[in-house]
Structure 1
Amino acid sequence: MGRLILVLGGVRSCKSTFAEDKARKIGGDDVLYVATAQAEDDEMHLRVEKHRSSRPHSWPTLEAPQDVGSAIRQVAGEVQAILVDCLTFLVANRLLAVSGPEEDPFDHPRSDPFDETIEAKVLEEVEALASCAQEINGSMIVVSNEVGMGVVPAYDLGRAYRDLLGRANQQLADHADEVYFLVAGIPMRVK
């Protein structure tokens, strides 16, 4: 039975660095890195490259913007640690797949971002990820942003995203064996 570790924090709180260090301590070179971001602009390409260069080259990378649990099951084998970076993009990918972007997703989302079926799909994805973590023999470390402590977004899609990610974080934290919250690079164990 696997262990699930959730690493939460705000933007630039060193979540990924902390999670990578934890994965390295658990698995050494035997770590599967699961990337959920979709680099669709120059700024995201730079972020992805920075993350790529900071982790060991021996860690294989699985690109999985959606259906992460299924993707991991297909390739994980017997690794000591799986690092999923991050739930933040996974939830965004699910939301944008049904709500936008069309032209301007903030002004003209394709569908109601508060639709309960969207929330159900997101939480189903989170449940599948938690289930996958229990099935593996190693540890799964999942990184996510805490976005509920800042300014309320001005647009429906942003508010729906904040709410969805908050619920997804709660659901994953409920399943987690350990939960860490990072502030200014300082980790605090909260579970």
Structure 2
Amino acid sequence: MSKSILITGGAASGKSRWAATSYSHYDYVLYLRTGEAVDPDTLHRIEYSNNQNGVEWDIVDKVYEEPAAQIGDHKFVIFDRLSDYASIVINRMCPDISKMDDDLMKSIERRIISDVEQMRERIRELNGSMIIITIETGFSVPPADPANIALRKILGSVNQRIANSSDEVYFSASGIQFKIK
């Protein structure tokens, strides 16, 4: 039975560590990192776990579009991070933030959700499991600049939709994860 899991929380709250630990005994896991390269601590943790458990993971970083195309036949996927991916899609679809309006915002939300659903569909076909990592938008100071205002609105909406359609949802705070769904 396939499973879709979302973990949300503040920056540096232990989300990536928890995701990597959750799949540490599985072989042929795909770690998809959007935006910049996998941070050295997470990379070290994955390599150590692989050596200890005799498993091998594939790591793909700098995923900027069509993340489902990267999955191939991997039954276990960690998508790190939905929040960075949302920022990438916003910049691609609206390079001039002054042109952002409600219709474009909704279109961007649909694109992000569609990309997540394509990944989930592939995982269902493989009868696998996927962990989606995101940043919780509700705990920070409201942003003042237009780009971060748009990101917060879009990501807040996307997070809610993805959480509602996930099989399980976890919240991470200070390195402790709480199952909330």
TM over 0.5: yes
SS in structure 1 at match of 2:4: strand
Say if 2:76 and 2:128, in contact at 8 Å, map to a contact too.
yes
What residue in structure 2 maps to residue 109 of structure 1?
97
What residue in structure 2 maps to residue 42 of structure 1?
none
Q: Deviations over 1:71-92 (max 9, x none)?
A: 32xx2x1x44211111111111
Q: Deviations over 1:21-79 (max 9, x none)?
A: 11114x2x33111111235xxxxxxx63333222136211123222112332xx2x1x4
Q: Deviations over 1:101-126 (max 9, x none)?
A: xxxxxxx6363164232233223223
CA–CA distance in 2 between the matches of 1:80 and 1:117? 30
Q: Deviations over 1:121-145 (max 9, x none)?
A: 2232233233333333221111111
Q: CA deviation at 1:171?
A: 1.6
CA–CA distance in 1 between the matches of 2:101 and 2:41? 31
CA–CA distance in 2 between the matches of 1:153 and 1:172? 23
What residue in structure 2 maps to residue 103 of structure 1?
none
What residue in structure 2 maps to residue 189 of structure 1?
179
List gaps (5 residues or longer) in structure 2: 51-55
CA–CA distance in 1 between the matches of 2:101 and 2:14? 30
What residue in structure 1 maps to residue 165 of structure 2?
175
Kindly provide the amino acid, as one letter, of the partner of residue 22 in structure 1.
S
- Aligned-pair Cα RMSD in Å: 2.1
Report sequence identity in percent.
29
- After TM superposition, the score normalised by the length of structure 1 is 0.79
1:38 is the counterpart of 2:33: no
SS in structure 2 at match of 1:66: coil
CA–CA distance in 1 between the matches of 2:126 and 2:159? 21
Say if 2:109 and 2:158, in contact at 8 Å, map to a contact too.
no
Aligned positions, number: 171
CA–CA distance in 2 between the matches of 1:167 and 1:126? 14
Kindly provide the amino acid, as one letter, of the partner of residue 91 in structure 1.
A
CA–CA distance in 1 between the matches of 2:166 and 2:44? 28
CA–CA distance in 1 between the matches of 2:4 and 2:162? 9
CA–CA distance in 2 between the matches of 1:135 and 1:31? 16
